[in-house]
Chain A
């Protein structure tokens, strides 16, 4: 319980921070807008490319593939970058050094913030996915295939949870940089989102990337997470859900372990070099 308390308190603080700028309902509703628009953009790109090109036919299943991938990579990006924000903002508000001085490592604070963001992001991503599904069906006049049952929902939920270690690990790696950085850490979220777009199989199979990048991308936990969600939701999906989940969890835990080691090392070095309480430019 003594370890859980700072995590839970940080999670509570994170939720306050993320939605307190306006009424909670409006805040959550507005947070649906960005992933909805992003999913719509890439789905429409697919539709436009296939309906205006003679070399390839429009396939609703491929549309569903892209829709799911685009929503989920945005979901990962939105909460994986929270450590960057938590540390950078904390430094600027002089809050972070005080967190560091408590008996717990700042890793608990960072983990709590990531978890709170995971909760909000899950709600908004699921809402965005549903809205985009309905909007696309309406605009494009097409039936988008999807298996929506209690079982498939539970499988997706399990995949979301299985991805937490990997996303947490990514967050700690970014946090390790933020601990030490004094400027430009704000640019990291853009890079994270962009890299996930390209390498997580969100929009296209990783096989189209050149070898050996395609191999590395294929076995990233984020790629396996998106694959597992597709296997749960898409009828006739060719992959194996259990294998995807296993690889997601294994890869995620591996990244988390490595990232925690990096984070703690960064914390020690930051203390040694006196930058824990350095305000940012």
Chain B
């Protein structure tokens, strides 16, 4: 998987095993990719797919058991000190700051870990705070910040050393819409104007679709698809089929047996007395077969239409099939 321009992150045959109760658990199974400078690169995958493992290896927190990875040309295994000078990372699930000092002093402290002179650090902190809407809260103690502002401070920390590459793990998880949007706009600005490479691991399809230049979908430690969001959506071929079905159903297991159905999701609206099921199909014939299968169960198809696939549907199509296979394997 290639990218244009200077390569910031390069991974080849990356493999990581962990000791399990019986046989080793393979968290990454031969992942290869290249990420260019100034790219926002999304990594999507279900829980346990290997996203966080890959980020931990690239950020030098974890050693690979096979393959290699380079960040800005430095090997993560053999040159971790050089890698650490050019990276930073942040996770949405952490508060990562010292409670009893102000947000500003927390940011100053972390800047010192990168050897940044105080005058320069102060200037950067003010600039970052302006961009992230954090200025008014800089003097508040960290514990007194709301979740949203704490997360803004965490993002600011991730950029205080002007890193060449930033690793972000679910940076907007649990945040309100406005805060999440502010952070996304900030990330885009950092990538476009400052040329920073951002590796973004997320479950938020809409976020990944909105800001990522390219996306890799990981499942069971392997990249199963990669490309721009548009390329991935087009790769499904036929658009999705959407059906509104009455009466509401908790499951649509009958669709798993229909040839040509790649995956599906459903939701129920009790007030309207309907379930809505979105089915990713290979062909028009598969769409018709899926509709027939629903009707054969005595359900009424109130409405149906075709639509362009979303990234979520791509994800479900690729990984949803894996879930079913995984369940069968677990039963055996």
Interface residues of A (CB under 8 A from B): 182-183, 281
Contacts and interface: CB of A to CB of B under 8 A. Distances in A.
Contacts of B143: 182-183, 281
Contacts of A183: 99, 143
Contacts of B100: 281
Contacts of B141: 281
A72 to B, nearest CB: 36
The 5 A-B pairs with the shortest beta carbon distances in the complex, nearest first, are A281-B143, A281-B99, A281-B100, A183-B143, A281-B141
Nearest to B99: A281
Nearest to A281: B143
A281 B99 CA distance: 6
Interface in B75-112: 99-100
Contacts of B99: 183, 281
7 contacts: A182-B143, A183-B99, A183-B143, A281-B99, A281-B100, A281-B141, A281-B143
Nearest to B142: A281
Interface in B262-317: none
B95 to A, nearest CB: 9
A281 B141 CA distance: 10
Interface in B113-160: 141, 143
Contacts of A182: 143
Nearest to A182: B143
A133 B286 CA distance: 83
A136 B100 CA distance: 45
A182 B141 CA distance: 13
A15 B141 CA distance: 36
A182 B143 CA distance: 10
A281 B142 CA distance: 9
A279 to B, nearest CB: 8
A275 B117 CA distance: 41
A183 B99 CA distance: 10
A56 to B, nearest CB: 47
Nearest to B141: A281
A182 B100 CA distance: 12
A281 B143 CA distance: 6
Contacts of A281: 99-100, 141, 143
Nearest to B95: A279
A182 B99 CA distance: 12
A281 B101 CA distance: 11
A183 B143 CA distance: 10
The CB with the most chain A CB atoms within 10 A, among B100, B141, B143, is that of B143
A183 B98 CA distance: 13
Nearest to B143: A281
B102 to A, nearest CB: 13
A183 B100 CA distance: 10
B96 to A, nearest CB: 14
B119 to A, nearest CB: 30
Interface string B190-223: 0000000000000000000000000000000000
B277 to A, nearest CB: 34
A277 to B, nearest CB: 13
A119 to B, nearest CB: 34
A94 to B, nearest CB: 13
Nearest to A279: B143
A136 B25 CA distance: 53
A167 B7 CA distance: 66
B315 to A, nearest CB: 30
A75 B161 CA distance: 52
B111 to A, nearest CB: 23
A201 B331 CA distance: 65
